[in-house]
């Protein structure tokens, strides 16, 4: 996405909110809002019609919620479009459900315009974007827990020498999703990087013999 115009759609059930988001984002010449949707069902149809680079998705909307829309978009294509949640909900349940469904990032509507623009640029470039509170909750979620089947799959692929791109291609997910899985599993293993995660996983017998 480097140097290219980022095409996105805004999904929110409040017209005034959509107008405000569009106005903030289109002040940046790198971003073009190609459509708006009022609920999850409209979002899926609009994404299919416009093929955006990124969807800015609210979660709870009458007529079709954002999580279901995220799942449907991910079932259709694991890597495109990028999906960045923008919501007022800052609870464990909402954050975990959205990320597990395949969202590439999670932001709160209290974020500033500059932070939102920066997040859109990062998400469109394939990076995982998390509000500080969401990042803390994901880390806390991992403490004292065992690795999930998907986290083990990510770590196994990395242990074979795969890059994030290789792992994403193998598991049919986005690179941002791979990075999010890594963020989940690091605290579970008590490590801070990929190499240490693989080493500890072998030591614990999670990946078989080294």
Q: Which residues of the chain have pLDDT under 50?
A: 1-2, 210
Cross-strand bridge partners of residue 57: 11, 85
Provide the 10 A C-beta neighbour count for residue 44: 22
Give the per-residue pLDDT at 91.
80
Give the per-residue pLDDT at 140.
62
Provide the 10 A C-beta neighbour count for residue 27: 10
What structural domains does the chain harbor?
Answer: 6-132 (3.40.50.2300), 143-202 (1.10.10.10)
Q: Is 93 exposed, middle or buried (0-12, 13-18, 19+ CB in 10 A)?
A: exposed
Give the per-residue pLDDT at 175.
86
Residue 205 makes CB contacts below 8 A (sequence gap 6+) with none
For 66-116, the pLDDT digits (tens) are 999 999 998 888 778 999 999 998 887 888 888 878 888 899 998 899 999
Cis ω for the linkage preceding 53 (within 30 of 0): no
d(CA 66, CA 53): 17
């Amino acid at each position: 996405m480097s140097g290219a115009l980022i095409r996105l759609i805004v999904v929110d059930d409040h017209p005034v909110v959509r107008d405000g988001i569009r106005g903030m984002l289109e002040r940046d010449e790198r971003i073009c809002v190609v459509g708006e949707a009022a609920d999850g069902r409209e979002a899926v149809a609009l994404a299919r019609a416009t093929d955006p680079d990124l969807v800015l998705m609210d979660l709870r909307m009458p007529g079709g919620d954002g999580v279901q829309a995220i799942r449907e978009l991910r079932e259709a294509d694991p890597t495109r479009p990028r999906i960045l949640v923008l919501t007022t909900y800052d609870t464990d349940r909402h954050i975990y459900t959205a990320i597990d469904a395949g969202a590439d990032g999670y932001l709160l509507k209290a974020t500033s315009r500059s932070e939102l623009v920066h997040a859109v640029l990062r998400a469109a470039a394939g990076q995982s974007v998390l509000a500080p509170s969401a990042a803390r909750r994901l880390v806390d979620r991992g403490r004292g827990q065992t690795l999930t089947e998907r986290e083990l799959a990510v770590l196994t692929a990395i242990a074979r020498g795969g890059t994030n791109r290789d792992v994403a291609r193998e598991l049919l997910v986005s690179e941002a999703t791979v990075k999010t899985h890594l963020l989940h599993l690091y605290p579970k293993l008590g490590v801070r990087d990929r190499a240490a995660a693989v080493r500890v996983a072998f030591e614990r017998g999670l990946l078989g013999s080294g």
